[in-house]
Amino acid sequence: MCNFTLSGNGTERKNLAYASVYGSVMAVGFPLNAVALLVLLRRHNLKSPSVIFMVNLAVSDLLLVITLPLRVYFYATGTWPLSNAACTSVTMLFRDNIRSSSFFITLISVDRLLAVVYPLRSRSLRTFSNAWKAAGAVWLCVLVMNIPEIISFTSFLNSYPQSSCFEFDCPPESVLRYAQPVLIFTMLAVNIVCTALVSLTLSRHLNDSARVNNKVNAMLIFVMNLIMFTVFFLPVSLGILIQTWRPYLTPLICLACVNCCLDPLLYYFSFDGFWRKKDDVNSSLGRE
């Protein structure tokens, strides 16, 4: 059990601010993602790859949200009341959200790229089966990345039992330090390429309304995906990678969790047919 006490007036003010942010994210993120998941499951039959990726993205965000009460408690009271195993689980779920979200957001971008740029040739690739295989591969990759981190984190907590649950960082020489930044940089590059190709395609077919029903929404989803990476995922990844950014890592982590409140905007405003019933969506998907 960690009983690390946060002290000092400046530190107390900062941690009350962190508790407020996490509490606000929890209050906003849970209902938004729960409603999004409910609508996706009840009004869509998971035939579209985009819907499948969005369902998994909503699940990832909900897994993050359920850990936030413990972070609120820690930063509000300055103590960690649970076991080291609970601390490890909370930390891994938090890190997994950034990783799984980056994967699923990228898969959404790639799926939209195929639908817009290669609508006919991609039909055999954009299938129910392939989408679920990709989602399964994402979760498997995330779990594999967890294994060495769990071992290292557990060793850290056992060696420094009075340390803060959220104080752990990989040693500078550890390869674990580079795993998340490399992932985020790679996924960001893929999103940039997808955005550029779709933008170029839409500009060439500006008057072809049959090719893309809603060009504004088609580009909006790519813009929002880039914002997710540059505002929420990239700063915390740089904070992990660059040692001089270490003093700013806690607020960057706090900022990163806000992504789960904005992910539902991808469903509400960017997914054509989000509020429509299954039959209406299936009809529109058949025209893609």
8-34 per-position pLDDT tens digit = 556 788 889 999 999 999 999 999 999
- Residue 49 falls inside a structural domain: yes
The DSSP code sequence of the chain is ---PPP-SHHHHHHHHHHHHHHHHHHHHHHHHHHHHHHHHHHH--S-SHHHHHHHHHHHHHHHHHTTHHHHHHHHHHS---S-HHHHHHHHHHHHHHHHHHHHHHHHHHHHHHHHHHSTTTTTTTS-HHHHHHHHHHHHHHHHHHHHHHHHHHHHHHHH-TTS-TT-----TT-THHHHHHHHHHHHHHHHHHHHHHHHHHHHHTTT-TTT-S-HHHHHHHHHHHHHIIIIIIHHHHHHHH-GGGGGGHHHHHHHHTTHHHHHHHIIIIISTTTTS-HHHHHHHHTT-
Read off the pLDDT of each residue in 196-208 and give the average, rounded to a whole number. Answer: 78
* Predicted local distance difference test score (pLDDT) of residue 240: 82
- CATH value at residue 261: 1.20.1070.10
Asked if 143 contacts 229 with a C-beta cutoff of 8 angstroms, the reply is no
- Domains identified in the chain, total number: 1
The boundaries of the domain holding residue 86 are: 9-285
Say how far apart CA 238 and CA 181 lie, in whole Å: 7
Asked if 187 contacts 229 with a C-beta cutoff of 8 angstroms, the reply is yes
User: Which residues neighbour 47 within 8 Å (Cβ) at sequence distance 6 or greater?
Assistant: 128, 282, 285
82: pLDDT confidence band, cut at 50, 70 and 90? confident
- Residue 1 falls inside a structural domain: no
- Residue 271 falls inside a structural domain: yes
Read off the pLDDT of each residue in 46-62 and give the average, rounded to a whole number. Answer: 90
Read off the pLDDT of each residue in 48-54 and give the average, rounded to a whole number. Answer: 89
Q: Is the pLDDT of residue 162 over 60?
A: no
212: pLDDT confidence band, cut at 50, 70 and 90? very low
248-286 per-position pLDDT tens digit = 888 999 999 999 998 888 777 665 555 555 544 444 444
Give the chain's radius of gyration (CA, Å).
Answer: 20
Q: Is the pLDDT of residue 184 over 50?
A: yes
Q: Is the pLDDT of residue 5 over 50?
A: no
**pLDDT-above-90 percentage for the chain:** 40
User: Which of 19-33, 80-94, 127-141 shows the lowest mean pLDDT across its residues?
Assistant: 80-94
* Predicted local distance difference test score (pLDDT) of residue 191: 96
- Residue 4 falls inside a structural domain: no
* Predicted local distance difference test score (pLDDT) of residue 227: 92
Say how far apart CA 105 and CA 195 lie, in whole Å: 12
Asked if 98 contacts 236 with a C-beta cutoff of 8 angstroms, the reply is yes
Mean pLDDT across the chain, nearest whole number?
A: 82
- Residue 47 falls inside a structural domain: yes
Q: Is the pLDDT of residue 153 over 60?
A: yes
- Residue 24 falls inside a structural domain: yes
* Predicted local distance difference test score (pLDDT) of residue 213: 53
187: pLDDT confidence band, cut at 50, 70 and 90? very high
Read off the pLDDT of each residue in 164-185 and give the average, rounded to a whole number. Answer: 73
Residue with the larger pLDDT of the pair 145 and 84: 145
41: pLDDT confidence band, cut at 50, 70 and 90? confident
Read off the pLDDT of each residue in 230-249 and give the average, rounded to a whole number. Answer: 87
Residue with the larger pLDDT of the pair 169 and 152: 152
Residue with the larger pLDDT of the pair 231 and 88: 231
Select from 205, 202, 199 the least CA-distant residue to 223. 199
* Predicted local distance difference test score (pLDDT) of residue 28: 95
* Predicted local distance difference test score (pLDDT) of residue 170: 58
Asked if 173 contacts 257 with a C-beta cutoff of 8 angstroms, the reply is no
Select from 180, 3, 194, 62 the least CA-distant residue to 116. 194
- Residue 143 falls inside a structural domain: yes
Distances (CA, A) of 37 to 23, 34, 94, 177, 280: 21, 5, 19, 33, 18
288: pLDDT confidence band, cut at 50, 70 and 90? very low
- Residue 2 falls inside a structural domain: no
pTM to 2 decimal places: 0.86
